[in-house]
Structure 1
Amino acid sequence: MQAVSKRQCINRAAKSAVAMALALLPFQAFADSFVQPKGVIELFTSQGCRSCPPADRAFEQLVRQGNIVALSYHVDYWNYLGWADTLGTPENTERQYAYAKTFGRSGVYTPQAVLNGRDHLKGTDATEINRRLEGMRSSGKGLVVPVKARQNGDQLAISVGSGIGKANVVVVYFREHQTVEMLKGENVGKSMDYWHSVTDVQTVGLWNGEPLDITLPARAISSDKSDGCAVLLQGADEEGNPSGIVGATVMMGRHNSLWLRKF
């Protein structure tokens, strides 16, 4: 057995102490190399809308791009055309109408892409969506507050950094991928791939500009209804309607284990 000097013992003890100190740090320190996503796109779409398939394909491109928080909300107001959207919910429709109030609009449309909760456009052009998000980031209307999330045992640990203002901490649960064949309606005969289809939206906390830690059950991500979630730091107008998003991240379920999307 190799002899160990007194200096080696001291070095090993020091390293052990550092490792223990790092292990005891709050979880907001776990990713020093954290990079903000480019932005958030929320696509309001419908299986019963003939104009939506091009937007759904553009949205898939943005999901695969990997540096954008992408969420797809299927609405239910086109169901009367003959095909009830299998992913649509009244809650998704309510969120879109809430955005309409934020933007001062009298109605809604599909496919609508809402960018960072601040602007909207027809969601068929991935290049233009990227350009708009870049412009927001350059003008200070991007994701300026760090938001991190990780699995901590059987819990989902969310960490929000410091900044200016107040915002809600919103968790958006979604299914990563589903393929649906339309049997009726305007898109009859089409088989479409849908990505990051929202199943539930929950406000879990209020951020007031100071660092904030929130813990949730991790099992909610790997349930029958969802296998991933996004965490949004989102403001609201005086009536409580959603407005600017200043921070965001995504977590996905993989083989009953969570991993953080690398932006």
Structure 2
Amino acid sequence: MRVKILAAVTSVLAIAPLAFSGFAMAGPRAVLELFTSPFCSACPPADALFTELARSPDLITLVMPVDSMDRPGRTDPLAKPAFTDRQAAYAERRNSDMLFTPQAVINGAAEAQGSDADEIREGIAQTLNVLTVPVDAKAAGKHINLSVGGAGKAAAKTGVITVLPFMRDHTEPLRGGRSAHYANLVRDVIPVDTWNGEPFKARLLRQDFAQYDGIVVLLQAGTNERPGAIIGATRIEFAKSGRS
């Protein structure tokens, strides 16, 4: 997916207004990423756990189906190479060959078995102080305005800003009458810009995300190819007109 990033000095394109509003959450305690697959026998418990965790207002949960378990005649239509690449990049950043499903990555800095609530809780405790840079996203008319604070006391002074559009709830039919249910199912990983430790602002077109339930904005140490600790994050959900 490609999105148009509008700087404050650029002209505003003529776009029909969209029939939904957006609201952002306060700063999260942790960002939890789950790398999963419907072809992994241990993954359904992890999917269910992340559905429960998604109800916690101080957590941002993200589910990314990987294509590493796809085989000829057995492919997951929700899996994307970008998700598999992201999982592999985390392992490379940690100089680790541990690549498994279901795998949870906590704040970009710790890993856990995706179905193990205790391991995830421990990972949150280990990385509790990494989210130090304020990140904000607000829907305003035809746009989404992003704002990232300065480095301050953050350990990382440079990084990348990434947007991940998601579906709040999705059930995917599987063979044999089974189905897989996901909460906060990510549909893309979209680089926005680099960050040099100074306050940053950007403007996105809301139209680019009209088919999604919301977006997560991550400020992450490292690069897009080698993502490190997540040092700032926010989520904005789109409330469509006439929907509670």
Length-normalised TM-score, structure 2: 0.81
Task: Note the C-alpha offset of 1:127.
Answer: 4.2
Distance 1:256 1:70 in 2: 25
Which of 153, 159, 166 does residue 167 from structure 1 map onto? 159
RMSD of aligned residue pairs (Cα, Å)? 2.1
2:80 is matched with: 89
Q: Which runs of 4+ in 1 moved over 3 A?
A: none
Paired residue secondary structure (1:64): coil
Q: 2:178 aligns with which of 190, 193, 198?
A: 190
Displacement after TM superposition at 1:256 (Å)? 5.6
- Is this contact kept in 2: 1:221–1:253, CA < 8 A? no
* Aligned equivalents of 2:198, 2:222: Cα separation in 1: 18
- Residue 227 of structure 1: how far off its partner (Å): 2.3
Correspondence for 1:104: 95
- Secondary structure in 2 matching 1:134: helix
Structure 1: gaps spanning 5 or more residues: 1-30, 258-263
Q: How does 1:21-40 map to 2 (within 5 A)?
A: 35-40=26-31
Residue 181 (str. 1) matches residue 173 (str. 2): yes
Deviations along 1:199-234, one digit per CA (max 9) or x if unpaired, are 1111111222221111111122222xx321100001
Alpha carbons of 1:158 and 1:78: their partners in 2 closer, same or farther (altered >3 Å)?
A: same
Q: Can you list the C-alpha shifts for 1:91-144, whole angstroms capped at 9, x where unaligned?
A: 11111111111121235210000011111111112343234213321xx3x211
Task: Work out the CA distance in 2 between the residues paired with 1:218 and 1:167.
Answer: 24
Larger radius of gyration: 1
Equivalent-residue separation in structure 2 for 1:128 and 1:57 (angstroms): 16
How much does 1:248 deviate? 0.2
Percentage identity across paired residues of the two chains = 36
Task: Pick the aligned partner of 1:67 from 50, 55, 58.
Answer: 58
Contact kept, 8 Å, 1:47 with 1:83, in 2: the verdict is: no
Q: Which residue of 2 aligns with 1:234?
A: 220
Compare relative contact order (CA 8 Å, sep 6+) and give the higher one, 1 or 2: 2
SS at match of 2:55: helix
**Most deviating of 103-112 and 61-70:** 103-112
